[in-house]
Structure 1
Amino acid sequence: ADGGTIFLDEIGELPAEAQVALLRVLQEREIERVGSSHPIPVDVRVLAASNRDLEAAVEGGTFREDLYYRLNVFPIRLPPLRERVEDIPILVEYLVDRYAKQVGKSIRNIEKRTLQLLQAYDWPGNVRELQNVIERAIVLVEGETFAIDDSWLTTKRSKVTNGTARPVTSLANGEKELIEAALAESEGRVSGARGAAAKLGIPRQTLEWKIRALKIDKLTFRKR
């Protein structure tokens, strides 16, 4: 990264020992290779991001105050998704196109009601939650119009506001449907670029375990 820029994501999760090491690099502008005692000058711009409240972490003693002020030279606050509803249609359009290409589908339209649902939801999981909802819908969608099941968002909202979770059986049934849809598209293949694991975005071993646990017969999805 010497002479360039390095991006440190989730800086708030950095262990105490690593915080000390990073602070030294930022202050001294030099590093030492493992096993060496010779300092090497570095000229690097550091960008750091965190979804945690670092000021609160400093007060709580989990993040070094001196490192916080060393990093906090030019802070940029990115509002959560619920505070920038006007961005949701643009993000949805981009993510639908991205995930549709990954699974080889052609999505030409986005249902108006779906956009309204997505804009009305408060997104406690922020953009990552939006990505997961859209990727899940892309796997299940049939035809050229993108739509979601509004129960996905209603259930999540009730879980946040009322503290009630979905029954385990409902979760299992939903997961089984999702896996079966992916297996149908991949003609029973689990691994490979066009396999069900790739379509679902999970490791092959994880999918194999879920198939056994949910008692899914993947052979029924293979072309004869």
Structure 2
Amino acid sequence: DLQGLFEIADRGSIFLDEIAEMPMALQSKLLRVIEDGTFRRVGGVTDIKVDARIISATNKNLRQLTEERLFREDLFYRLNVIPVNLPPLRERKDDIPLLIDHFLHKYGRSSVKIDNSSMHALSNHEWRGNVRELENIIERIVTLADGEVISRDILPPEILHTSEPATVNPELGTGIDLDKVLEELEKAYLLKALDTANGVKNEAAKMLNISFRSFRHRLSKYGIK
């Protein structure tokens, strides 16, 4: 007989990704597996015992979904035994080079190198799509790359946009935050200088006519690596 995933995971672990997208009817069945340790195959008439550790993941707020009655509250509490909150990729910039190396290996291009300018652009992108967005970008890059070195001319426009200085087009009105505007402008020029200097911080500081110590302090202020 063909075994399902829970049968295969017996005395092991099963990973359920995007748990928030699970239909309500299926949530009820999953709750039964967790509470009773049994399930039935599709079309089956006998219960099958299973002992599996369940690891689930989601990028949504399950507690909020329970309040909106879009996710079962009882299932939420059974799954939320040991929660692990993973910060977004933009807050884990040190992980980006490691992930890039992993994806280069995954797509069979482990010999490809990312030059300093491109690595700075990739490291300082916002990555609203987190690791999946990064993987998609790396897959696109290695598909288009001819040589063994990735330079910024092959990076997608949305990545390069991050390192371009912001344009100033002030529209005065209520609620403007001048300090925030100036901070964004300063950050944009820091990134642009780094890209132009191919990641050499001494050279980037000279371009902005500030000391290396001041340049390094400003990078730290904005979390720029």
TM-score (norm 1): 0.63
* Among candidates 152, 160, 173, match of residue 158 of structure 2: 152
SS at match of 2:105: helix
Partner of 1:111: 115
Q: Which has the higher contact order (CA 8 A, sep 6+)?
A: 2
Deviates more, 1:37-46 or 1:120-129: 37-46
Render the CA deviation track for 1:166-199: whole Å, top value 9, x for unaligned: xxxxxxxxxxxxxxxxxxxxxxxxxxxxxxxxxx
Sequence identity percentage: 44
Question: For residues 154 and 110 of structure 1, do their structure 2 counterparts lie closer, same or farther at Cα, with a shift above 3 Å needed?
Answer: closer
Question: For residues 116 and 150 of structure 1, do their structure 2 counterparts lie closer, same or farther at Cα, with a shift above 3 Å needed?
Answer: farther
Partner of 2:69: 61
4+ long deviations beyond 3 Å: 154-158
Q: Number of paired residues?
A: 154
Gaps of 5+ in 1: 159-224
Deviation at 1:150, TM superposition (A): 5.6
Partner of 2:147: 143
Query: 1:25-40 counterparts in 2 under 5 A?
Result: 25-40=33-48
Whole-angstrom distance in 2 between the partners of 1:97 and 1:156: 26
Partner of 1:195: none
Report the RMSD for the aligned CA atoms in angstroms. Answer: 2.2
Render the CA deviation track for 1:13-66: whole Å, top value 9, x for unaligned: 000000011111111111123333332222111111111111111111100000
**Bigger Cα Rg:** 2
Query: 1:41-80 counterparts in 2 under 5 A?
Result: 41-80=49-88
Whole-angstrom distance in 2 between the partners of 1:16 and 1:157: 44
Whole-angstrom distance in 2 between the partners of 1:47 and 1:122: 27
TM-score (norm 2): 0.63
Question: For residues 29 and 98 of structure 1, do their structure 2 counterparts lie closer, same or farther at Cα, with a shift above 3 Å needed?
Answer: closer
Deviation at 1:133, TM superposition (A): 1.0
Question: For residues 14 and 86 of structure 1, do their structure 2 counterparts lie closer, same or farther at Cα, with a shift above 3 Å needed?
Answer: same
Deviation at 1:155, TM superposition (A): 5.4
Gaps of 5+ in 2: 1-8, 165-225
SS at match of 1:6: strand
